[in-house]
Amino acid sequence: IRLEQRLRVMTISRSYQSIVLLFVSRLSAAALFTPSLALSTSVTHHCNSIRSSSQLRLFGSSRFRKKDKQPDHQMESAADADAATQKMAQLDLSLIKKFAHKNGDALFGYIEECQVDDPNNKGSFGRFLDAGTGSHSLRWMASILHREHLLANTSNGALSSPNISMDSFTAITADENMRRRVFNEAKELGIADKGDVIIGNWKEGVGKDGTVQFGASDTSDGTKLLLEGQQFDTILADYLVGAIDGFSPYFQDLIFNRLVPHLAPGGRLYVIGLQPIPDSVNSPANIMCKIRRVRDACILLANHRCYREYPLDWIERHLRKSGLNVVQSRTYPIRYDHSTMVRQINVGRSKLKLFPTKGMAAEMGKVLDDLEKESLEVTRKQADGRITLGYDYVVVAERPVDSD
């Protein structure tokens, strides 16, 4: 692990990193028992010698060819580079270009900023777990995996996003339709070979007392629990807590206990959430409170479950209870225009066909129509056509390095 971390921060190419790893694998038995600090120093010295040498020597054996003929490894590298360039040229990356700009996405931009500033990670997300995946978070991950290409083909100047990296990703969803959608988009974005999209439920294997029962799966075929035995350098919970009520009701207080065993010591968990919309406010923004109430009523009358958001202080409290340190957090006020409110109204309309009676659906449809008209009137009275209500938040939590 220390070797991988040391190599990650050094300014040498991936091919040189592979050479160093091969060098270490060929060390003598005595060298393998060298204290880790000395070994790390030895590797660093070897990296520096490789980096500064004008010709490449492999562990004492010259591998030069005649000047009129390229070495095999150079020809293979050139062929690989050409293939990669052709592959990138065939991809449509228009959906992820915005992430190459610092202001492209405020929440994910803040996460990138925090990761760059983290001394434990040096600007890399390493092995990455998206604990509740969706199209938006997948596109952001694709922008990380294609970050060098995006930065090279955009002209954002000082407003460019950081050149941050990710080794691999694992994306989890409890919904089969979402899994297919995300997997297909991963292929379209050219990152399907960089990770896995898995269907699973975090509630499985958690006892009534909240303990995770690894090694004692209650599944009929004896398979392991979701991601059992795997750890990641970074975990993202992108509106995951709010979505849990739709799949695993009353499990919200245990979700961080379930995720912590998969977070490597020193790793970070980023939680994105929405501060719950209040029942009412004494301002023009009250229209959004009314829309939220009617939308949720439609969902319930269709015999579906609503998402249930949790406030920032609840999230921070339960992160600490799970053994994590809350490093910092930030809030982002939400600005609603008419189109944003209509999208929420349309969620309610999509449920009308599932109402118990046609008469009930017809009357609720009139209520939704009235809300759309009222929202238009309210926004037209605002100087910029938008109202402010509530906020999104990002919480940065870290697992102590000395934790078990």
User: Helix, strand, or coil here: 5?
Assistant: helix
Alpha helices for 122-236 (secondary structure H): 135-145, 147-152, 176-188
The DSSP secondary structure of 128-156, one letter per residue, reads EEETT--HHHHHHHHHHHTHHHHHHT---
pLDDT for the residue 64: 34
pLDDT for the residue 11: 44
| Closest alpha carbon to 105 in 261, 238, 240, 298 | 238
How many residues are given for the chain? 404
* CA contacts within 13 A on the Cβ side of 118: 26
- From the CA atom positions of the chain, what is the Rg in Å? 26
- 362 and 307 in contact (C-beta within 8 Å)? no
Percent helix, strand, coil in the chain (nearest 5)? 50, 15, 35
pLDDT for the residue 56: 33
| Closest alpha carbon to 188 in 199, 180, 176 | 180
Q: What is the mean pLDDT of each run of 10 residues along the chain (404 residues)?
A: 47 48 44 40 43 35 41 63 62 91 95 93 92 96 95 90 96 93 95 95 86 67 82 97 91 95 96 97 98 98 95 98 97 98 98 98 98 98 97 98 83
Q: Please name the residue that has the structure tokens 């340190």.
A: 325
Let me know the angle formed at the C-alpha of 101 by 98 and 105, rounded to the nearest 5 degrees: 65
Query: Cβ neighbours of residue 198 under 8 Å, at least 6 residues apart?
Result: 170, 171, 172, 173, 179, 226, 227
pLDDT for the residue 79: 63
pLDDT for the residue 220: 52
User: Helix, strand, or coil here: 170?
Assistant: strand
| Closest alpha carbon to 114 in 326, 401, 309 | 326
